[in-house]
Every structure is written in structure tokens, then in C-alpha cells.
Structure 1
């Protein structure tokens, strides 16, 4: 049987590197571990951590094709973050001009959650602990 330890990271290709870098670091608060420019690919790679744990690789590539994410497109559905206070999280995002969907209740767990979109319309979920 295959034994997996944990999710190592999630890779995201963005259309506007500076805009996405700002969103993931200044709005979501992810920590920069390493940033490199790969000249041969005309591409930045930004390694980001949450609470010291490496979780996201943010890439830039020249003219990446658009990927449909809504309505419910096939493929990776969304990136989800666990939070302690769902209303405080939503209020913070709204104060930073991030459109936030209404808070909903997970019908199976009874927990609250809501969605936003990153600069490339990737759905991001916030789920109460």
C-alpha cells in the first residue's frame, strides 16, 4: 500500500506575478521562504509558508492560458484555509477590498465557511476550526 505523509505543496501559476505575490503575502499573510527568477523560463518561483510550513509555490510564466474555475469546472476545485474566527477573517478581507461570498454552513459538519477568489479567480475557501 502507498503511504503518504502529508500534502507537500500546492503550485499556482498566476497571470500577474506582482499582484498575486501581494495577495498571497500581504492579504493572506503567507511567509516568503524563497524567491527565484529562472531566466531560461522567464519565470519567477516564490515558495510560501503558513506558520513556518511550506505550502504554496507561486509561479509566473509569460502568457499562461486561462483555466476555467467556475462553474464547478473539472480539476482542482479550490484551496482551503482553516481559521479560528470566520467572521473576523471575512471582515478583514472585506476591509482589504476582497470580495467575499456570504458565510454558509457545511450541512455535514455544521461548521461555517465562505469563499473568495485570488487575483486569477482561483477559488479560496476559509473554513472555521
Structure 2
């Protein structure tokens, strides 16, 4: 059996780099570790951290294909962030003109959660801990 330590990072390909960079840094508050432009690929790569832990690689590529459906297509279903206060999270998102789904209750844990979409319609979950 493999002895995995932890999830190292999640890679996301965006269609509008400027818009996605603003969303992930200014709305979600992730910190930029490194930003590079790879001329041979016509692509940006932005390394982001949450609480000083490297967690997301944000890529841009010319004309990436759209996701087939949401959220049941094969591949990444959604990205989830733990939050301590869901009402404060929802209020902040609404103040930034981000639409939130109604708060739901996890039927197995009785924990509350909600979803938003990133600029490319990737589902983002906020799960109250």
C-alpha cells in the first residue's frame, strides 16, 4: 500500500486568467506564492496558498475546452473549503456580488454547507466545521 502524506495541490485550468486570479486571491483570499508566464505554452501558472500551505495551481491555456456538465461530469466534482462561520462566509460572498446557493445540511454529518461557482463555473463548496 502507498503511504501518502497529504494532498499536495489541486490544479485548475481557467479560461480568463485575470478574472480567475482576482477571484482566487481577492475573493477567496488565497496568497500568491509564485506567478510565471510560460511563453512556449502561452500559459500562466499561479501557485496559491491557504494559511501558508501551498494548495492550488491556477493555469491558463489558450482556448481550453469547457466542462461537459456540472457537477456530474467525470473528473473533479468540486473544491471544498472548511469555514468556521457559514453565515459570515455567505454574507461576505454576497457583498462581493457572488451568488450563493441556499445553505444545505449534510444528511450524514448534520454539518451545514453551500456552493458558489468560480469564474469558469467550477463548483466551490464552503463547509462549516
TM over 0.5, shorter chain: yes
Contact 1:69 1:121 in 2 (8 A): no
Structure 2 segments unaligned to the other structure (5+ residues): none
Q: How many aligned residue pairs are there?
A: 129
Q: Distance in 2 between matches of 1:51 and 1:69?
A: 31
2:7 aligns with 7
Q: Distance in 1 between matches of 2:111 and 2:69?
A: 24
1:107 aligns with 107
Instruction: Pick which of 66-75 and 46-55 moved more.
Output: 66-75
SS in 2 for 1:97: coil
Q: Distance in 2 between matches of 1:32 and 1:69?
A: 30
Contact 1:82 1:127 in 2 (8 A): yes
1:75-117 C-alpha deviation (Å, 9 max, x unpaired):
2100000000001001100110001000000010010000000
Q: Distance in 1 between matches of 2:73 and 2:41?
A: 28
Cα distance change, pair 48–71 in 1 and its aligned pair in 2 (3 A): closer
Q: Shift of the alpha carbon at 1:71?
A: 4.8
Could you say what the CA RMSD is over the residues aligned between the two structures, in angstroms? 0.8
Runs of 4+ with deviation above 3 angstroms: none
Contact 2:71 2:78 in 1 (8 A): no
**TM-score (normalised: structure 2):** 0.98
